[in-house]
Amino acid sequence: MKAICVKADGGLEVRDIPEPDALPPGHVLVQMDSSAINHGDKSFLAMPQAAGNPLANRRHNTWGASGAGRIVAIGDHVPVDYHAGKQVAIYWSLCRSPEGIGLWSEKALVPFETCLILPDHVQMRDYSGSLVNVMTAYAFLDEIAADGHKGIIVTAGSSATGYAAASLVRRRGVPAIFVTRSTSSRDMLIQQDVEHVLASEEEGFEQKLGTLAAQLETTAVFDGVGGALITRIAPHLVMNSTIYVYGFLGAKVPVSTLLVMGKNLTIRRFSNFESATVKNRSRLSAALRDLEGQIENPMFRTRIGREFSFEQIDEAMAYEAVPGAKAVLAIR
């Protein structure tokens, strides 16, 4: 079968690899429909140290973390819900396995815990990049609640994770402010009935943010941008706020030490696959079951910028869509 694999120099190429002839316990074989390309795919290939060893636990150096497909076979000890014929959205990093085959392949081999069962009537392609963003937002909200925070600021408000967070905070009743780069992206979120949205390009942005942050007690910042934006908003954060760094778009987080001391700011990283929600097997199972009941929410669907074939992988990796949209490898 065909798969996209990582070469010794970190580049990608299409190879023919053996199709699994036996399934390990706890694993499912999935006929892939489509796989999205996330910012993380590009970042981890360019900076492997950011993910430890991103090729660990990938047979044949296969790549791909997000996708959707249909289960065609199951190994022993897989729950009956995950039977052949079920549509699933998959996020590789939820449970890594040395037996696994990555999602940029015609058939993926993954632990069943990486899969969210989709309703039979939905289009799989609409969820080809969804689970990574939904689980990131879900695990983040769990983590900030455990840390004692009542409200959040999301700097990448128009991203796929931002859209997922907008839906989840509404369901959980968490006060939230969403920051977008442009007024057009702000207006799109407002059209989705998201209440507190600010564009960083609008006049008086910093002052508006500071006022809202104080009113809503948004002391947790989900920072998927970094760089200049976090420099702009840090002076306007509430005392004792924590900036959770997620993403690599801005690379640097230049916040003055005087400001850190004066506002007692904390800067720490957030990793969804190292979160308590994902690392604890029972919590992960509960989260997936909870999300199964919400997954049809339009805010969770993958926004597809353009579809590519395997042979167009270099073009797909270079593709830049509008904020929140993704390049998708169409397999079927």
CA distance 57 to 187: 42
CB 62 within 8 A of CB 4: yes
**251 has pLDDT over 60:** no
pLDDT band at 309 (very low <50, low <70, confident <90, very high): very high
Which 3 state secondary structure label does DSSP give 50?
helix
Average pLDDT, stretch 255-275?
88
Report phi then psi at 15, rounded to 5. -130, 160
CA distance 260 to 237: 11
Q: What is the pTM of this model?
A: 0.93
pLDDT band at 48 (very low <50, low <70, confident <90, very high): low
Can you give the pLDDT at residue 248? 56
**267 has pLDDT over 70:** yes
Residue 111, number of CB atoms within 10 A of its CB:
21
